Structure 1
Amino acid sequence: MSLEGKVAIVTGSGRGLGLAYAQELARQGASVVVNDIDAGVATDAVESIVAAGGQAVAVVAAVGSTETARALVAAAKENFGRLDILVTNAGLLRDTVLWKMSDEDFDLVVNVHLRGTFTCVREAAVEFREQGEGGRIICIGSPTGQRGNFGQTNYSAAKAGIVGMVRTWALELSRAKVTVNAVIPVAATAMTATIPFFKAAVEAADRGEPMPDFFRHDLGFGTSSDVGGLIAYLSSDEAQFVTGQAIGVGGDRLQLWSHPDAVESAYAPGGWSYETLQQQFESLFGDKQQSIGEEFPPLPAEFAPEPAA
C-alpha cells in the first residue's frame, strides 16, 4: 500500500465524495481524520474505514474557523503522531440567482468553501514546515469555478478562489517540498442528483448499475469512487512532481485544466483610448471572446427526462 504510514485529514468526509476520498486513502494505507458536522454520520464513516481494516478518528465540527482547522491538525498528531496529507472537501450549496441571493447565502458558502480551505491549509502548511518532510495538499474545486454556472454566484466565486489560492500556495510551499493541487470532480452526489440532465446516470448509480457510456465517457460523469484514485495518487510520493495543477476527473475521463492565459494581444501606440476601442475592439476580439458556462453534447433521447405533466 503506497500510503502506508501516512496520515491524512479529509474535511467534509462523512458522506459522498469526501467519504470516498477518506476510504480510498485508508485502503492505500493512510490513517485518516474524518470530519463532518453530523456526529452520527462521522461515526459511521469511521466505522466503515475500521471495518475494512483501516484506521480513522472523527472530528465533528464545521470548517471555516481557525479553531476547527487547529482541532483537525491536533487530532492527526494526537492520534497518529503526524500529518502528511490534507484534502479540503467540505462544502454546501445555497443556490439562487444574483438578484435573489442574500448576504447570508453568500457568506455561508464562501465561509465554508473558501475560508475553510484557507484556514485548514494554513494550519497544515505550518505543520508540514515544522516537520520538514514535505506534504500533500489537495483542494477540491468544481467545473462551476472553472466555467461559471447559472444561479451559483457564491459557489463559483469560492471554487474559482480555491484554484487561485492553489497556484499561489504551490509557489510558496515548493521549497518545503509540499505539493498543492486542485481536483475538479464530476460525479453523482447529492449536489448533482437534482439536475435533470444527469437523471438517468444518477438513477443507474442508485440502482447499483453501471452508468451508460454516454455519461461516463462523453461527459466524464461517474460515481464518487471514480475520483478516489486521483486523490490517492496525488497524495503519494510518486506524485512529488505534480504541483499547482487543476486536474479534472469523472467517470472514464481525466483532464488537465489550463491556467488562464491571454488568447490574443493587440497594441496601440500611446495606449487604448475610448475612440480607438470603438473602432477596433470588435474586429480584434469579436470572434475570440471566450465561452461561459459548461457546454454539454446533446442528451441522447433515451436518457432525456420525461416532460412534466
Structure 2
Amino acid sequence: MSLSGKVAIVTGSGRGLGLAYARELARHGAAVVINDVDANVASEAVKTIESDGGRAVAVVAPVGSTGVARQLVATAVDAFGRLDILVTNAGILRDKSLLKMTDEDFDLVINVHLRGTFTCVREAFAYFKENGIAGRIITIGSPTGQRGNFGQTNYAAAKAGIVGMVRTWALEMKKAAVTVNAVIPVAATAMTKTLPYFQKAVEADERGEAMPSFFRHELGFGTADDVSGLVAFLASDDAANITGQAIGAGGDRLQVWTHPEAATTEYREGGWSYQALSENAASLFSAGTLQGYGEEFLPLPEDLQPEPAQPAATPAR
C-alpha cells in the first residue's frame, strides 16, 4: 500500500489522534495539511512529520465555517498541487448533563464536529468532482454517537449526525467514485485519561509499555496508532469499494457497525390505535424487543482496578 503522490488534509491534527492519523498518512507517502487552532502546536506537528521524512504545511484556524474549509482545500492545492484525501477529525468537548448544558455548550460542539465536517466535506467533494479525482473522505465518529453516553448530549448528537451524513454522502458521491466512511476510534485520549476505569491502560501507555490484554482485546481499547492504520487504509486505492460504512478500531479489535434496521415488524389491519397498542404492549415491547442504550463496560479484573485517590495533604499550621 502506498499513498505516494497523494495529498491529505487532516483537521484537528496538531496532537492526539489527529496527529497520529497525519503521521501515518505521511509515513505512507502522502503530503499533509495540518490543522489546529494553536499556532505553536500546529508548527510542532509539521516539524514532527518533516522529521519523519514527510511533507506538511499548517493551517491555523478553527473548523466550522465555509471560509476555513475553503482555506484548507486551497492550501493543499497551493502547497502540493492537488487534494486526494480529507480526514475530518477536529473536535471539542463541553460535557454536562442535560439540565446543566447551556446553548453555548451545545452550539460550540455542534459547530466544530458536525458543521465542521459538513463544510469541509462539501468543499473537498466539490474539488474532487470538478477535477475528476476519486477522492477519499474519512470522517471521525465515536461510540457515544453509536450508543449514547451520560453527559454528552451535544457530542452524541454531533457524532450520530456525522454517521448519518456519511450514509447520505455515500449515495451522492458514488457516481464520482469518491468514497466516504466514518471511523469509530476507541483509544487513549485527553478525555479517557480522566476516567478511573482506564487508569491502568493509560498509565501503561504513558510509560511506553503495552496496555494490558484486557483493555486491548476484551474492550478494544488501545492507542492512537491502533486507529491510524485504518485511516490510512481507507485513504488508499485498496479501499475503493468501501463506502458508507461506520468502522470501529481500537486495541486488537476491528468492528463494522450495523446500520439501523427494524428489530421487529408487526402489522395490524386498520393500523395501531392507542387501545390496540395497550392491549398488545406486552408482546410488542418485551424485554427482548426493546433496544439497549449507553456504553456498557465489562467489570475490571482485580489487578486492573484503579488506585484509590490519595487524600490531599493537610497544610502545616
Deviation at 1:154, TM superposition (A): 0.2
Q: Which residue of 1 aligns with 2:68?
A: 68
Q: Which residue of 1 aligns with 2:315?
A: none
Alpha-carbon distance between aligned partners in 2 of 1:131 and 1:83, rounded to the nearest angstrom: 10
Q: Which residue of 1 aligns with 2:272?
A: 272
RMSD: 0.8
Alpha-carbon distance between aligned partners in 1 of 2:142 and 2:48, rounded to the nearest angstrom: 27
Alpha-carbon distance between aligned partners in 1 of 2:158 and 2:196, rounded to the nearest angstrom: 24
> 1:132-187, CA deviations, whole angstroms, 9 ceiling, x for partnerless residues?
02100000000000000000000000000000000000000000000000000000
Alpha-carbon distance between aligned partners in 1 of 2:8 and 2:307, rounded to the nearest angstrom: 44
Q: Which residue of 2 aligns with 1:250?
A: 250
Deviation at 1:131, TM superposition (A): 1.1
Alpha-carbon distance between aligned partners in 2 of 1:44 and 1:112, rounded to the nearest angstrom: 22
Alpha-carbon distance between aligned partners in 2 of 1:82 and 1:280, rounded to the nearest angstrom: 60
Moved more, 4-13 or 298-307: 298-307
Alpha-carbon distance between aligned partners in 1 of 2:230 and 2:90, rounded to the nearest angstrom: 18
2:132 alignment partner AA: G
Q: Does 1:292 align with 2:286?
A: no
Alpha-carbon distance between aligned partners in 1 of 2:6 and 2:43, rounded to the nearest angstrom: 21
Q: Summarize the alignment of residues 148-187 of structure 1 with structure 2, pairs less than 5 Å apart.
A: 148-187=148-187
Moved more, 292-301 or 140-149: 292-301
* Identical residues among aligned pairs (%): 71
Deviation at 1:281, TM superposition (A): 2.1
Deviation at 1:210, TM superposition (A): 0.6
Alpha-carbon distance between aligned partners in 1 of 2:293 and 2:284, rounded to the nearest angstrom: 19
Alpha-carbon distance between aligned partners in 2 of 1:265 and 1:46, rounded to the nearest angstrom: 53
Q: Which residue of 2 aligns with 1:25?
A: 25
1:298 alignment partner AA: P
* Secondary structure at 2:8 match in 1: strand
> 1:206-264, CA deviations, whole angstroms, 9 ceiling, x for partnerless residues?
11111000000000000011111000000000100000000000000000000000010
Q: Summarize the alignment of residues 41-56 of structure 1 with structure 2, pairs less than 5 Å apart.
A: 41-56=41-56
Alpha-carbon distance between aligned partners in 2 of 1:170 and 1:188, rounded to the nearest angstrom: 29
Deviation at 1:283, TM superposition (A): 1.4
Alpha-carbon distance between aligned partners in 2 of 1:187 and 1:101, rounded to the nearest angstrom: 26
Q: Summarize the alignment of residues 105-254 of structure 1 with structure 2, pairs less than 5 Å apart.
A: 105-254=105-254
Whether contact under 8 Å (1:196, 1:305) holds in the other structure is yes
Alpha-carbon distance between aligned partners in 1 of 2:82 and 2:123, rounded to the nearest angstrom: 13
Whether contact under 8 Å (1:134, 1:176) holds in the other structure is yes
* Secondary structure at 1:263 match in 2: coil
TM-score by length of 1: 0.99
1:226 alignment partner AA: D
Pairs aligned (count): 309
Gap regions ≥5 residues in structure 2: 312-317
Alpha-carbon distance between aligned partners in 2 of 1:84 and 1:12, rounded to the nearest angstrom: 18
Whether contact under 8 Å (1:264, 1:285) holds in the other structure is no
2:19 alignment partner AA: L
1:98 alignment partner AA: L
Alpha-carbon distance between aligned partners in 2 of 1:286 and 1:60, rounded to the nearest angstrom: 52
Q: Which residue of 2 aligns with 1:99?
A: 99
TM-score by length of 2: 0.96
Q: Which residue of 2 aligns with 1:39?
A: 39
Deviation at 1:29, TM superposition (A): 0.2
* Secondary structure at 1:254 match in 2: strand
Alpha-carbon distance between aligned partners in 1 of 2:63 and 2:96, rounded to the nearest angstrom: 23
> 1:2-38, CA deviations, whole angstroms, 9 ceiling, x for partnerless residues?
1000000000000000000000000000000000000
Alpha-carbon distance between aligned partners in 2 of 1:111 and 1:221, rounded to the nearest angstrom: 28
Alpha-carbon distance between aligned partners in 2 of 1:150 and 1:207, rounded to the nearest angstrom: 30
Q: Does 1:86 align with 2:86?
A: yes
Alpha-carbon distance between aligned partners in 2 of 1:192 and 1:36, rounded to the nearest angstrom: 21
Question: Displaced runs of 4+ in structure 1, greater than 6 A?
Answer: none
* Secondary structure at 2:59 match in 1: strand
